[in-house]
């Protein structure tokens, strides 16, 4: 699987991407604002299904958030499910107050 790159515009909107030969095979759409990294959507091509591409996008996003001391607001159902499934991995990142979720 190809490396994951982050592309952001000047407004802090963009995506973590998996591309091969200019074809987008995986994408996690994000926005960075006010100390938060908002995850809007994650999508992986059928070509990468079952290869852990979603998890690799999640790991890249989490590493970026930690490196830049950002809290994550997981609006994306996939990321929210992973945060709930593995709270020990993401407790330091998850902006639970934004969701009104204390558990």
pLDDT tens-digit series, residues 4-60? 999 999 999 999 999 998 899 999 999 999 999 999 999 999 999 999 999 999 999
73: which 2 tokens? 């607001």
The beta strand positions in the chain, using DSSP E, are 4-8, 13-20, 23-33, 36-44, 71-74
- In this prediction the pTM is 0.90
Cα(102)–Cα(95) distance, integer angstroms: 10
Q: Mean pLDDT across the stretch 60-87?
A: 97
d(CA 90, CA 5): 21
What mean pLDDT is predicted for residues 54-77? 97
**Residues shown for the chain:** 103
Is residue 99 very low, low, confident or very high in pLDDT (cuts 50, 70, 90)? Answer: low
Domains and CATH numbers, the chain: 4-99 (3.40.630.30)
Closest C-alpha among 38, 24, 102, 100 to residue 70: 38
pLDDT-based confidence at residue 2 (cuts at 50, 70, 90): confident
Amino acid 100: pLDDT? 52
């Amino acid at each position: 699987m190809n490396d994951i790159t982050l592309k952001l515009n000047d407004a802090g909107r963009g995506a973590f991407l998996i591309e091969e030969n200019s074809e987008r095979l995986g994408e996690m759409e994000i926005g960075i604002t006010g100390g938060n990294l908002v995850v809007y959507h994650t999508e992986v091509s059928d070509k990468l299904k079952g290869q852990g591409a979603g998890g690799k996008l999640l790991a890249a996003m989490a590493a970026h958030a930690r490196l830049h001391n950002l809290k994550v607001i997981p609006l994306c159902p996939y990321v929210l499910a992973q945060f709930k499934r593995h709270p020990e991995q993401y407790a330091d990142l998850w902006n639970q107050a934004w969701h009104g979720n204390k558990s």
